[in-house]
Amino acid sequence: NNDQLRPVRVLVKKQYGTMSKHYAAYLKPHVKTHGKFLWASGMILATWTVFFILYANLFNFDYFELSYAGVQDAQPVYGPFYKRHVATKEKKSLTDLAMRKHRFNSFKSDQTPLNRKIPDTRSEGCAELLYPHNLPVASVIIVFHNEALTVLLRTVYSVLDKTPPHLLKEIILVDDFSDDGELKTLDLEISKLVKTSHIRLPKRSGLIKARLFGASRATGEVMIFLDSHCECNSGWVEPLLYEVKKDRSTVPSPIIDVIMYDTFEYRQANPQVGAFDWSFTFYWQLREQKNLTEPLIAPVMAGGLFAIDRSYFEEIGTYDTDMNIWGGENMEMSFRIWMCGGRLLSLPCSRVGHIFRDRAPYNFGGESQILTLHRNYARAVEVWLDGHKELFYRFVPHARDIDIGDISSRVNLRKRLNCKSFDWYLENLLPMLPTEKRLLASGQIRNNKIGQCVDTLGFRKANDTVSHYRCLPKREPGYTNQVWMYSKNYEIISLENCLDASVPDANSRAFKRVSLWPCHGLGGNQKWHYSATQQIIHAESQLCLSVGDPSKPKLFLDHCDGSAHQMFTFTNIYSQ
């Protein structure tokens, strides 16, 4: 009967295309079974979904992938200066222009999506950690002066994109009186974004006062400060908030990854913490970890990127408001937090990229950068260093003559908070730093003939070879590999290691390799004399530190011949 078959044929056609009438007649019951099967598997799936959501909520974890603003998965979003076609010649001149203006390649930034993907650089095991759902909410504060627009926007995009909405109260941008026309569309760009506001200061105030202004507007339980050229990575915020939640006097920082200033490539940093030498030069100290996800104890913070409980920030004395423009506030805050009962951590599970550059692209409000920096240092030194301040002045003699103004309110703060001594700080946080009256020279060890500096190249283990490399500016990450201290025990020290050369036979003409070895304080292979003729003489063998022979290791021992290949200068030499 044709009439009975017709509806079935329609159904079959839809699902399987054309089939013979004959076959279709047989199919009807099969289609029905098929429907039942679909229905049953749908039910199973739904049950599992309900269980999964219940389970996830019960154990408080976020069960959806990151990218909270949803922009990561969308089309690339370009900033206002993006050019679709750029000739090679034009590219080069635009790059040069950008480098001169910002000290990083902002042209490359303009050509890079604001929501670009970056590699998840968290240490192994971090991605599997679970955090409570009810962490404190954060206000993110970003201060800037003449920042490159797309770099600033990418910072904000990354915060929105990588922070679970329930943990982000607001993003406060504080414009420290920028006068660069490239920022005139900033308000328009920000108006497209949620939770983000922009305040402009009526005069140039410097990053310290600008951050305080931002803090005064913040309403979240925790404040997170960021520089204006950062990119937050996956899961960056939870570890920070978790540490503050556990103990409100903990001030955690992310591990600061490197955004290359020229290529904008995002690179993973090693687990490391801030340290300093007596010139207050900040450097990174690598840390070995058994448990890779474990927070690291940080003697000092780099300064730009940290989370702090909002009421604790007040309680511990915010910042020294008489510090100007830039520099030293991170040292002051670090000493204060440690000595007055708090602690600083660096978290390998929280990663934020930052563009490090060779020098500041902006002016310092009418005085030199070095004067501003040294005044800020001296204010911190006078309040916190106790008997050790003379050592600082030996490293930075110029700071002694600077008028630092009134510090009585900060001295009173230290008394009021009943803070510990600087001796306590050194013993507990930087036991390897040689204290006063134990140093002869320090800084980079430069050979003028080849114009390079003695460099560990980042090697830190016993017996690693020491080499030389282009002398790097302070604050560039690799600079730390070129910082040496020449002690009164005649050791040449890099962090915990000493320059070492083993000489089984002093008369051998073999050219000796120079390596690192943990300082043992016994002289021997680690004893070096710095002569009036600028030679660095290995005491045991009476051979000279030498460079510049392509047939030998880069740094080697050779018979002293008085040539410029054996003459070195230290950045700082201390008159005794």
Which residues of this protein are in contact with Mn ion, per CB under 5 A? 227
Report the residue number, 131 or 364, with the smaller CB distance to ligand UD2.
364
Q: In what order do the strands lie in the sheet with 556-558?
A: 512-513, 556-558, 543-546, 536-538, 528-530
Would you give the binding string for ligand UD2 spanning residues 231-270, x where CB under 6 A is met? Answer: -------------------------x--------------
Q: Which residue has tokens 């995002």?
A: 266
Alpha-carbon span 307 to 169, nearest angstrom: 14
Give the residue, chosen from 136, 235, 327, 348, that forms a contact with ligand UD2 under the rule CB under 6 A. Answer: 327
Give the residue, chosen from 148, 168, 223, 325, that forms a contact with ligand UD2 under the rule CB under 6 A. Answer: 325
Alpha-carbon span 399 to 309, nearest angstrom: 33
User: For residue 6, with 0-12 CB atoms within 10 Å meaning exposed, 13-18 middle and 19 or more buried, which class applies?
Assistant: exposed
Instruction: Write the CA distances from 212 to 142, 179, 199, 209, integer angstroms.
Output: 11, 21, 12, 5
CA-nearest of 501, 502, 538, 498 to 519 is 498
Query: Pick from ligand UD2, Mn ion, none: which does 207 bind, CB < 5 to 8 A by kind?
Result: ligand UD2
Instruction: Write the CA distances from 491 to 55, 104, 438, 465, 480, integer angstroms.
Output: 60, 38, 10, 17, 18
Helix (H) or strand (E) holding 209: helix 206-217
Q: SS3 for 530? A: strand
Longest dimension (CA), the chain: 117
Report the residue number, 212 or 360, with the smaller CB distance to ligand UD2.
360
Report the residue number, 175 or 500, with the smaller CB distance to ligand UD2.
175
DSSP classification of residue 471: P
Would you give the binding string for ligand UD2 spanning residues 422-461, x where CB under 6 A is met? Answer: ----------------------------------------
CA-nearest of 157, 138, 155, 204 to 176 is 204
The one-letter code for the residue type at 38 is L
Name the residue whose CB lies closest to Mn ion. Answer: 227
Q: How far is the CB of 543 from ligand UD2 (least distance, A)?
A: 41
Count of residues that interact with ligand UD2, criterion CB under 6 A: 24
What residues from 105 to 164 belong to the interface with ligand UD2 (CB under 6 A)?
143-145, 147
Alpha-helix residue ranges (DSSP H) falling in 67-181: 88-102, 106-110, 149-162
What's the full length of the chain, in residues? 576
Give the residue, chosen from 137, 360, 441, 472, that forms a contact with ligand UD2 under the rule CB under 6 A. Answer: 360
Q: Hey, which residues does 351 pair with through a beta bridge?
A: 255
Can residue 377 be called a binding residue for ligand UD2 (CB under 6 A)? Answer: no
Query: Pick from Mn ion, ligand UD2, none: which does 303 bind, CB < 5 to 8 A by kind?
Result: ligand UD2
Give the residue, chosen from 261, 312, 326, 425, that forms a contact with ligand UD2 under the rule CB under 6 A. Answer: 326
Q: How far is the CB of 74 from ligand UD2 (least distance, A)?
A: 27
Query: Pick from ligand UD2, Mn ion, none: which does 147 bind, CB < 5 to 8 A by kind?
Result: ligand UD2
What residues from 163 to 192 belong to the interface with ligand UD2 (CB under 6 A)?
176
Report the residue number, 144 or 392, with the smaller CB distance to ligand UD2.
144
Q: How far is the CB of 494 from Mn ion (least distance, A)?
A: 26
Alpha-carbon span 339 to 413, nearest angstrom: 12
Give the residue, chosen from 163, 196, 228, 546, that forms a contact with ligand UD2 under the rule CB under 6 A. Answer: 228
Can residue 276 be called a binding residue for ligand UD2 (CB under 6 A)? Answer: no
Q: At residue 409, what are phi and psi to the nearest 5 degrees?
A: -65, -30
Report the residue number, 207 or 544, with the smaller CB distance to Mn ion.
207
Q: How far is the CB of 231 from ligand UD2 (least distance, A)?
A: 12
Centre a 10 Å sphere on the Cβ of residue 530 and count the other Cβ atoms it contains: 20
Strand residue runs (E) in 106-190:
138-144, 168-175
Can residue 299 be called a binding residue for ligand UD2 (CB under 6 A)? Answer: no
Query: Pick from Mn ion, ligand UD2, none: which does 176 bind, CB < 5 to 8 A by kind?
Result: ligand UD2
Report the residue number, 69 or 302, with the smaller CB distance to ligand UD2.
302
Q: How far is the CB of 282 from ligand UD2 (least distance, A)?
A: 7
Q: SS3 for 253? A: strand
CA-nearest of 119, 121, 124, 91 to 105 is 91
Report the residue number, 189 or 227, with the smaller CB distance to Mn ion.
227
Can residue 227 be called a binding residue for ligand UD2 (CB under 6 A)? Answer: yes
The one-letter code for the residue type at 284 is W
Query: Pick from ligand UD2, Mn ion, none: which does 330 bind, CB < 5 to 8 A by kind?
Result: ligand UD2
Q: How far is the CB of 305 from Mn ion (least distance, A)?
A: 9
DSSP classification of residue 535: B
Q: Which residue has tokens 């909410």?
A: 137
Whether the CB-CB separation of 381 and 332 falls below 8 Å is answered with: no
Centre a 10 Å sphere on the Cβ of residue 105 and count the other Cβ atoms it contains: 23
Give the residue, chosen from 220, 254, 304, 434, that forms a contact with ligand UD2 under the rule CB under 6 A. Answer: 304
Would you give the binding string for ligand UD2 spanning residues 378-407, x where CB under 6 A is met? Answer: ------------------------------
Alpha-carbon span 17 to 110, nearest angstrom: 52
Can residue 305 be called a binding residue for ligand UD2 (CB under 6 A)? Answer: yes
Query: Pick from ligand UD2, Mn ion, none: which does 491 bind, CB < 5 to 8 A by kind?
Result: none
Query: Pick from ligand UD2, Mn ion, none: which does 319 bind, CB < 5 to 8 A by kind?
Result: none
Instruction: Write the CA distances from 297 to 289, 294, 419, 433, integer angstroms.
Output: 11, 10, 19, 16
Give the residue, chosen from 109, 139, 250, 330, that forms a contact with ligand UD2 under the rule CB under 6 A. Answer: 330
Contacts with ligand UD2 by CB under 6 A lie at 143-145, 147, 176, 206-207, 210, 227-228, 256, 302-305, 325-327, 329-330, 354, 360, 362, 475
